Structure 1
Amino acid sequence: MPAANKDTDGGWRSFVWNSERKEFLGRTGCSWFKIFAFYVVFYGCLAGIFIGTIQAMLLTLSNYKPTYQDRVAPPGLSHTPQSDKGEIQFSMNDPNTYKGIVKAMDNLLAKYNPDNQEDITKYEDCGGETAGDYKERGALDGEGGMRRACRFQRDWLGSCSGGDYGFNEGKPCIIVKLNRIVYFRPKPPQNNETLPAEAQLNFQNNVLPMYCTNKREEDKNKISNIKYYGFNGGFPLQYYPYYGKLLHPNYLQPLVAVKFNNVTYDEDLRIECKVFGANIDYSEKDRYQGRFEFKLHVKSS
């Protein structure tokens, strides 16, 4: 038995290093060199093919313009404050219930402060509070450097521009914006006949109007006296097109503030807001495509 163990032990050692044949793990030094060189060349070729295909693909892409933008859906309509469940609930007599909401709105409007828009190399006046046509800033390429952004003053949002945004009075505000799509030109409605009757009064040229109303018929008489601030409740064309983060890093989206001056307290109210445009569509699969809805619950105590 001891002799057998010695032979077994010797066979194992001989496999690791065979001094007679000069083999390590069954291969000579020349054999190890050949197989190492083969795999270096093999994986080097694979890496070269991979890097080459990536470089070839990058040659077809632009740093400034999306290559395939024809599949991009119309812009979404988003609002602040926003919750995961699409519900805005607070007590007008308890500041702690809307403290987080006020902070979120302050953060959104901070970059719209006048002192942040004083640099004339980054910002320009585009008609003030008068709506105008598209502001063309050249081709979507690196020629001409960064594009200046149109100024948008938070004061244009009236009573929804600061403070407690009406939450302390039970008259809450929401801030609405169209999501950015590079080089997209929203088209306003051709006439006011495509708008709801109540929204036709706000129709104006060069503006995409927005309108909020009750989602459920039973809430019709529970929501009234809705006021819109910022270009009379719409998105003016001179803020478009958007040239992307590289060319338009200081871009300010136009905002619309909506204030609900008269809502029934202590009830769940379903509200829907829509933006109207000739190239704005709506989808039942995406509740934020061109519209959004939320539940508003104002507690009186």
Structure 2
Amino acid sequence: MPAQNKDEGGWKKFIWNSETKEFLGRTGSSWSKILLFYLVFYGFLAGIFIGTIQVLLLTLSDLKPTWQDRVAPPGLSHHPRSEKSEMAFSQDHIETYLEYTKSIREFLSQYDSEKQEDGMQFEDCGEQPQDFKNRGDLESDIGVRKACRFSRTWLGPCSGIEDRHFGFDTGKPCLIVKLNRIVNFRPKPPTSNETVPEEAKHKVQPNVIPMFCTNKREEDAGKLGEVKYYGIGEGFPLQYYPYYGKKLHGHYLQPLVAIQFVNLTRNEDIRIECKVYGENIYYNDKDRYQGRFDVKISIKS
């Protein structure tokens, strides 16, 4: 008979040694001790991890984010959104602006009147600028808060109700502008005209965060033409603030401002900057949407 392979016998004996009753080099008692050690060790680590998470959760609120570091308050944005904030179209060719009008139409659909009929969720807050609408402290036990209705009709020819093309078909494009939602944020109107440029001082009025658009580049001076503003007070009225967050204000609709450029110079790339002004509204050169935005518009003949 052939001799037994020593290596084969060696690894078989390592797996189970019938003489010493060892499995993989350890006796049953040794395996019990090491398994108990690792059970206690990893159980201790799991306990530290779970305890740390529980302590962290105690510092968080279901109603308001503890930390906010994405966009400093407040961000100003607009519809339609476009790649690199550049819009080029021809009023005679619908396919060149169809995506723009579709974007506005989809955004404004949430402001349809039939979606604001529920009296348990919405209330009328007036068509004129008013002071903040106090609905209790954020942490109070009042529960879900009502939101102010916002009618699309206040956006005039930019509402999309009568003009489904939002002025693009006549070379008078509209933009729909909003302040981004920030839980419990109360924007403060400018208390002094010194913080507002000379050309925008006429926009300052009580209970409104004013907005003003102008050419961003000096070489575009005179090419922008007339800019019309639509909305309550042609700005952001205070009665729509504060916002109480998704849990308490999931149906909330922020106020909108529509701007319409009625006589932009044709066949020119015009860079336009729009800014809002307030005591607690700031700007940052590194963030193009903090309290402002800019967009390039070109209308081709």
TM value normalised by structure 1: 0.94
Match of 1:218 in 2: 219
Match of 1:123 in 2: 122
Match of 1:183 in 2: 184
Distance 1:9 1:3 in 2: 13
When structure 1 is superposed on structure 2, of 221-230 and 190-199 the one drifting more is: 190-199
User: Alpha-carbon deviation of 1:72?
Assistant: 7.2
Match of 2:31 in 1: 32
Secondary structure of the residue aligned to 1:27 is coil
Distance 2:186 2:57 in 1: 27
Amino acid at match of 1:47: A
Distance 1:15 1:193 in 2: 87
Distance 2:245 2:166 in 1: 31
Distance 1:139 1:30 in 2: 63
Match of 1:143 in 2: 141
Task: Please give the root-mean-square deviation of Cα atoms over the aligned residues, in Å.
Answer: 1.8
**Compared CA separation, residues 33 and 61, structure 1 to 2 (3 A):** same
**1:158–1:229 CA contact under 8 A, matched in 2:** yes
Structure 2 spans left out of the alignment, 5+ residues: none
Q: Quick check: 1:292 aligned with 2:288?
A: no
User: Alpha-carbon deviation of 1:48?
Assistant: 0.9
TM value normalised by structure 2: 0.94
**Compared CA separation, residues 135 and 266, structure 1 to 2 (3 A):** same
Distance 1:107 1:239 in 2: 22
Amino acid at match of 2:79: T
Structure 1 spans left out of the alignment, 5+ residues: none
Match of 1:265 in 2: 266
**Compared CA separation, residues 287 and 80, structure 1 to 2 (3 A):** same
User: Alpha-carbon deviation of 1:256?
Assistant: 0.4
User: Alpha-carbon deviation of 1:195?
Assistant: 2.5
Q: Percent of aligned positions with the same letter in both sequences?
A: 62
Once the two structures are superposed, the pairs formed by residues 1-301 of structure 1 within 5 Å of their partners are 6-68=5-67, 73-127=72-126, 129-141=127-139, 143-162=141-160, 163-300=164-301
Secondary structure of the residue aligned to 1:145 is coil
CA deviation digits over 1:180-234, x for unaligned, max 9? Answer: 1111110001144532333223322100100001111221111111100002321
Give the total of aligned pairs: 298
